Amino acid sequence: MLSRHFLRSKVLQAIYAGRYEEKNTAEVAKLFEYHIQKLNELGVLQVALLPRFVEVAGEVIEGGKKKFRPTEEDRNPSLRMLDNQFIRRMADNFELKKAMESWCGCWETHEDLIREAFLEFRKTKEYREYVNEGDKETGDKETSRFEEDKAFAILLFRYLMNRESLRVVVGERSLLWEDDFDQIAQYNFMMMKTLEEATFDEAAVWPVMYDKREEKDEADMDFARDLLKNTMDTREESEELVKSHLQGWEFERVSRMDVLLINMAVAELTGCPTIPEKVTVDEYIELSKEFSSERSRLFINGILDKLIAELRSKGRINKIVNR
């Protein structure tokens, strides 16, 4: 499920961290694999909030009936959210349940934050419309109940992912997640939209960020592993190439991140025959916008233009053209 652009960024981060700690190729590769595994944990931790949120909401609703002076809503609350078909299927899914038991115990210790989130969410227009519409449902509406419940669950997921107090809880679990939180939430958002009523049940395979069982996921990870190894193995040669094309600059003054981005681009240009040159150049310019300075993209683009011309002339770039 992880895009190659995202995997490139994880390779970049692993090598950058490894260089400062003077790690060898095998150690950097191990660090990269650990980062990817942590993304699976983050993904499950995020979606686990939905069933836990509904569970806490049920406790709040039940407690409302016991107030000294309950309102009419307290006495006769809408139970539609508590019976949300989509979230119920999430809670009953064997794979997700097992993953939540392994990784998501932290939500059990933060009931106060979840309770606070529900009390505020209950005031929103979206919540009122959802529960009120449920009270009006008639025969024909039942046929679309799952899709309505899924749309609401996705809306609720977005609300929870944007709630700072809950983001802090997740961030405290791992320093690696601060930069990845929104990206993984977006992957989860897109993934949940693909789940269908006919196939999403307790026995369904739960999609994770990186699934070894998926051919595409494994192919993309093999690409990332090869990119990491080739970058580490050829970094001294690549740095010499960069030095030879610097004009009016001392190599020591060039940002280490910019050098690493160029090293990775060279490794990809020479080691990935199926990826067009333009795709590679565009990818590392985009990464420079994310991880380096504002002027880096111009510097990296200029150096790569020169390096590509030299590498072509030496027969180092050989691309397979799909016909």
Q: pLDDT by residue (tens digit) across 235-268?
A: 899 999 999 988 777 888 889 999 999 999 999 9
Which two three-digit tokens encode residue 144? Answer: 């679309």
From residue 40, alpha-carbon distances to 54, 95, 136, 203, 205 in Å are 23, 13, 39, 19, 14
pTM for the complete prediction?
0.87
Which two three-digit tokens encode residue 173? Answer: 């679990």
User: Taking the domain 215-313, which CATH number applies?
Assistant: 1.10.940.10
- Domain(s) of CATH 1.10.940.10: residues in the chain: 215-313
Residues 100, 44 contacting (CB under 8 angstroms) = yes
A 10 A CB-CB count for 290 gives 10
Which two three-digit tokens encode residue 9? Answer: 């960024």
Average pLDDT over residues 194-206: 94
∠264-183-114 over CA atoms, to 5°?
150
Residues 81, 23 contacting (CB under 8 angstroms) = no
- Higher-confidence position of 8 and 295: 8
pLDDT tens for each residue of 138-193: 445 555 799 999 999 999 999 999 999 999 998 888 888 888 999 999 999 999 99
Listed residue (46, 56, 47) closest to 117, CA to CA:
56
